[in-house]
Every structure is written in structure tokens, then in C-alpha cells.
Structure 1
Amino acid sequence: MSGLSGVTRVAWESGHWTTEPVSSEVDGDALVVTAAEGTDAWRTTAYGFIHDTEHALLAPFAVGAAVEVAFTGDFSGDFDQAGAFIRTDDENWIKPGVEFSDGLLQLGAVVTRGVSDWSVAPVPHWAGRRITVRASRSGDAVAIRARVDDEPFALIRLAPLDPDAQVEAGPFLCAPSRAGLTVRFESWTVTEADGSLH
């Protein structure tokens, strides 16, 4: 997808699920997805478990491209989460987005290279609003940005990503602690990678 110009909407049916959700239904241009209880993505660090049951809808993600996922949801159960999922293989993946933790909506990313790490910052004022996560792949890195509504994007993470790897990306959600998390993915688009980090 390098050499892209403009914005291309990714068709929901062109992606494949890593784990099938309870339900997914096209509503106009949006995809409404309900997560299964107990789903998550994590490898080992601090908790000692490996979870690879996330609902991620993935399509190829080339060097020189950026993927954006916009969504809304009622994130109110412990560790309810949604955003973008960037996957190389079972042991190498990134999940930037929002997660309900410690009683607040948090913005952050998990970067997994064999084992997972996690960074978060509270964004309680984002609750109930349209959130967009943007992952821009260039060279040996992926730059993660996010915003709420039409506010400017802010850089939240820069992570290594093998430039020779076959990578897939797209929207994801998980519900580690409850049934009934439903997320409305309003758009999934691909465009040219960002020209610079700053």
C-alpha cells in the first residue's frame, strides 16, 4: 500500500478475525461488534498468563501506509478495550487504543515482542465520544497517534516494527471481565504514512 494518495476505506468483509466475536453486523457504513466475555491479548509480563483471544479484524499493512480506526463504545467493565491491532505473529503485535482500568478510561498501548508491556494515561473526558487511533508504518517503526472527535492527533507511542515483516492491522476489541461489550466501529481507512514524527 505504499505510494498511496488520499484515503481508502477498507471494506469490513475484506478483513479476517483472529477470534470470531459473539456478533458483528454492518449498520450503514459502520460495523457493530459484540465481544465474548474473557477475551484479551497479553503475553506473560507481571501476570504470568498468555491470552490470545482478542477479536481483531485484520488486513495487510504495508510499509508506507497508515491505518486509522474510529469507534465509539460504552467502556465500563474492567479492562474493556478497543482500538487498532497490528500483528506480525503470535509473539509480536501491538494494540493501541483505550481501556477501562482503575475506574477510568485510559489511552495507551501494549507492545509485545515475546512478552508484553503496557503504557496508559487517563482520558476520562473521552468517554462516550468518537475515538480514532492511527498507526503509521514507515521504515523500521510504527508511530501511534490518537484523538477524540475532531481534535488534533497526538503521538502516544513509537514502537519498532520489522520493515521486512508481513504485518496485518485493523480494528480490535476485547472484554476480559464481562459479557456485553459492544463497540461501533465507524470507519477503517488506509492512507499514506505520516511524513514525519513531529
Structure 2
Amino acid sequence: MTDFNQMTWLNPPVSADVRDGALQVRSGEKTDFWQGTYYGFHRDDGHFLHQLRNGDFTAEVSFSGRYEALYDQAGLMIRADERRWMKCGIEYTDGAMHFSTVVTNTHSDWSAFRIDHAFDVMSVRVTRNGDALFIQYRTDVMTEWRMARLAWFDPSIEDLQVGPAFCSPQRAGFEATFHSFALTDPVSRDIH
């Protein structure tokens, strides 16, 4: 497990406290990561706590949140710069929690599906292998990892920032807890 205190903030939140090994955070006013598509706006003011990683890796984060307003979100981000990144995790939309993935290569795309069972803690695993990000999830009531997406990501980018991210595009004060974060060599290339 990674020590949150040894990581670096992009856009520090209103509050961030490490208690008993968990990172408890609260968002600033109308924060987000998005580049252009459909909505036309460009935002790069979401909260992102990261460390550097070169080459292939697996990143895992577990988290919970008080999702109440449209687009409240928490999860994992992998980032080269403001125009090349991926974020995935829980996003609150249509009155429910959805597993959401945004991949940005100059312009953002968005995929999401509703999580239909009750849970307290979500875990996300992303494995980078060459030109691919293999995105998986599981909740605290699931035993196996499930595939959410296989996304292209520029293999020429060697150094990436990796870590927990969260935003609240419609408000301030979204509260989340990151229970753990780990960054290791790739766990596997297996999809099935």
C-alpha cells in the first residue's frame, strides 16, 4: 500500500486528512476533468493525488463517497497531461451510482453503466500494458473483478501520474474516503 502523504496533489481539495491509513477528502466548488466533447467546455480543475510511474503497471484503489449531487465522482486517474488522461470510478447520474470511465486523447469520451446492487466500498483496478488500459471493478459485496472497459492509451507516453481522483462539477463539499491505493508491476495480461 502507498502512503498518501508521500504523493502530490494536482488541484488540492478544500480538505484532505489521512486518518488510520485512509484519505478523507472534501471537494472544492464545481471541480471537474473534461475536454470538449458534447458539452464544449474544457475543465482541468478536479482533485488528483498522484505519484509517477513509468512503463506498464497495475493500479488499484478502494473508496467510498457521499454521492448526492449530479456528477459527484471518485475513483482512479492516469494522466500524462491535461489532454491525455483516463479517469474511472463511481459517478452519480440519473439519481444513481454508475461505474464511469472517461478516456481523453485531446477530446474526452464517456461510458457509464448503473451499478444495480447496494454496496459501501468500490474498488477499481487498471492495468496498463503497452497501448491498452484494462479497467476492472468490484464492490465490497463481490468476490471477482469484472471488466468495465479496454481502452487505447498512447504507448509512446512513458511517464504517467497515477492515483486517486475526485470531482463535484455541480457543487462544493462532496466527501469521499480513499481506503487504499497500490501501484505495482502489471498483475496480468489476461482478460478472461
TM-score by length of 1: 0.91
* Fraction of identical pairs, as percent: 37
Q: 1:113-139, CA deviations, whole angstroms, 9 ceiling, x for partnerless residues?
A: 000000000114245x11011110112
Provide the residue aligned with 1:86 in structure 2: 78
Q: Which runs of 5+ in 1 are unaligned?
A: 1-8
Aligned to 1:16: 8
2-structure distance, mates of 1:132, 1:126: 14
Q: What does residue 62 of structure 1 align with?
A: 54
How many pairs were matched up? 189
8 A contact 1:142–1:159 mirrored in 2: yes
Q: Residue 20 of structure 2 is aligned with which of 16, 25, 28?
A: 28
Which residue of structure 2 lines up, in the alignment, with residue 143 of structure 1? 134
Aligned to 1:6: none
Asked if the contact 1:94–1:111 (Cα under 8 Å) also holds between the matched residues in 2, the reply is yes
Cα distance in structure 1, aligned partners of 2:117 and 2:8 = 32
Query: Is 1:196 matched up with 2:185?
Result: no
- Whether the 8 Å CA contact 1:105–1:126 is kept in 2: the answer is no
CA contact (8 A) 1:62 1:137 kept: no
Amino acid at match of 1:174: C
- The correspondence of residues 134-173 of structure 1 with structure 2, limited to 5 A, is 134-149=125-140, 150-165=142-157, 166-173=159-166
| Aligned equivalents of 2:117, 2:64: Cα separation in 1 | 13
Q: Deviations over 1:17-49 (max 9, x none)?
A: 110100000110101011112000001111010
2:106 maps to 114
Letter of the aligned partner of 1:15 in structure 2?
Answer: M
Unpaired stretches in structure 2, ≥5 consecutive residues: none
Regions of 4+ moved over 3 Å: none
Moved more, 160-169 or 68-77: 160-169
Task: State the TM-score, normalized to the length of structure 2.
Answer: 0.94
